[in-house]
Amino acid sequence: MIKQVKKAIFPIAGLGTRFLPATKSIPKEMLIILDRPILEWAVIEASLSGIEEMIFVTSSKKNSIIEHFDKSSILEDLLKKKKKMDKLLLIQSQNKLGNFSYLIQDEPKGLGHAVWCARKLIGKDENFVVILPDDIILSKKPAVKQLIDVSCKTKGGSVLALEKVPKKEVYKYGVINPKRKMNGFYSINSLVEKPKPEKAPSNLSVVGRYLLNSKIFEKLEKQKKGFGGEIQLTDSLASLIDDPGLFGIEFEGKRFDCGSKLGFIEANLNFGLSDKEINSSLRKKIRNL
Ligand code: UTP
């Protein structure tokens, strides 16, 4: 029987250099989209997908993240006194999103290294997800749930979120070499991290959602530095190709790269336009620009 996927690793120890100077003191993951930090949107997606254990691989400079997800009795009491019950429920709903664990990555040695830091919290032969929160996805069905569904169809296979990108932009991503297209998903032959456009095996790039098997830790343990002198997650993904296999899905939904200025503003506009309270006023303001 296939075990349910219950744990998510959120690697959030990066420096966020594309967002300097803001990220000198504010973690990128705490920048606000609409009325919540980027990271909370990703945690909500995980929770809606059935994930119960939220594992943050963070850095000691990002304490505001711990504060944000911690219960705040003082704030709750104040909201009760002021009879702001809607706000109280909002704050309390955060504590119902799951159980939170925090691990420190002492130095940003790469995404592969950040994931490896969480190895002791994942069981033997266990499937888990990795969520890069700066990729926010607006979709009808949560993107992580879409990956879980493909994993079920493939008897517990590992699954990557894929997006077609213009060929000239493949150098920014991990790119798959697809073997076969099946019912809405691909089986994967191999992968390459940030290829030159002329050498890319396809324009199907891997974006911030991965459903992986714990076998990957054996590979990450021995992995050498790759592109950019960092331990890359993509370089270890090939170890998951054997039975039950590595698959990819072009998920339904719109992705915003909130680690970049353009993607961040686009996300704020789209989340604003899908918010009942402000959508019509925002639409007017945009028209008047
Ligand atoms: P990015 O490539 O976006 O790097 O990492 P970054 O440092 O956050 O941002 P820039 O490029 O300098 O602006 C993708 C995800 O992997 C995490 C990041 O925090 C981000 O969520 N990461 C990256 C780690 O946790 N540790 C690392 O060593 C590298």
Q: Is the pLDDT of residue 96 over 70?
A: yes
Q: Residue 149 in 3-state DSSP? A: helix
Ligand 1 pocket: which of 29, 30, 132 to mutate (most atoms within 8 A of CB): 132
Q: Which atom of ligand 1 is nearest to the CA of 260?
A: 13
SS3 196: coil
Other beta carbons within 10 angstroms of residue 198's beta carbon come to: 7
Q: What percent of the chain has pLDDT over 90?
A: 85
Q: Quote the pLDDT of residue 23.
A: 92
pLDDT cut 70: percent of the chain above it: 100
Q: Please indicate whether residue 17, judged by its CB atom, sits closer than 6 Å to ligand 1.
A: yes
Measured CA angle at 12 (ends 19, 194), to 5 deg: 70
Which domains does the chain show, CATH number per domain? Answer: 7-287 (3.90.550.10)
Q: For 12-41, what is the mean pLDDT? A: 94
Q: So what's the pLDDT on residue 212?
A: 96
Point out the ligand 1 atom lying closest to the alpha carbon of residue 231. Answer: 28
The mean per-residue pLDDT over the stretch 11-22 comes to 94
Measured CA distances, 89 to 36, 80, 136, 149 (Å): 15, 10, 24, 31
Residue 129 in contact with residue 211, Cβ under 8 Å?
yes
Distances (CA, A) of 157 to 14, 31, 132, 213, 241: 28, 34, 20, 8, 9
**Chain centroid offset of residue 53 CA:** 14
pLDDT tens track for 197-241: 999 999 999 999 999 999 999 999 887 777 778 888 988 898 899
- Which residues, other chains included, contact 28 with Cβ-Cβ below 8 Å and sequence gap of 6+? 14, 16, 19, 22, 38, 134, 258, 259
Give yes or no for residue 58 having a pLDDT over 70: yes
Rg (CA), the chain: 19
Of 11, 5, 97, 45, the closest CA to residue 254 belongs to 45
Spatial separation of the C-alpha atoms in residues 264 and 257, rounded to whole Å = 6
CA of 231 to the centre of ligand 1 (A): 12
The average confidence (pLDDT) of the chain is 93
On whether the pTM is more than 0.85, the answer is: yes
Confidence at residue 1, expressed as pLDDT on a 0 to 100 scale: 66
pLDDT of residue 239: 87
| Integer angstrom CA distances of residue 12 from 95, 107, 165 | 20, 12, 24
| Centroid of ligand 1 to alpha carbon of 114 (angstroms) | 9
Tokens read off for 212:
């992986």
The pLDDT tens digits of the residues spanning 100-152 come to 999 999 999 999 999 999 999 999 999 999 999 999 999 999 999 999 999 99
pLDDT in tens, 233-250: 988 898 899 878 999 999
Query: Does ligand 1 have an atom closer than 6 angstroms to the CB of 216?
Result: no
Residue 44, judged by CB atoms within 10 A of its CB (0-12, 13-18, 19+), counts as: middle
Mutate to test the pocket of ligand 1, among 9, 12, 225 (most ligand atoms within 8 A of CB): 12
Q: What average pLDDT score do residues 144-162 get?
A: 96
Distance CA 115, CA 233 (A): 8
Cα 15 to ligand 1 centroid, rounded to whole Å: 6
The C-alpha angle 42, 43, 45, rounded to 5 degrees, equals 65
Task: Decide: 105 in ligand 1 pocket, CB within 6 A.
Answer: yes
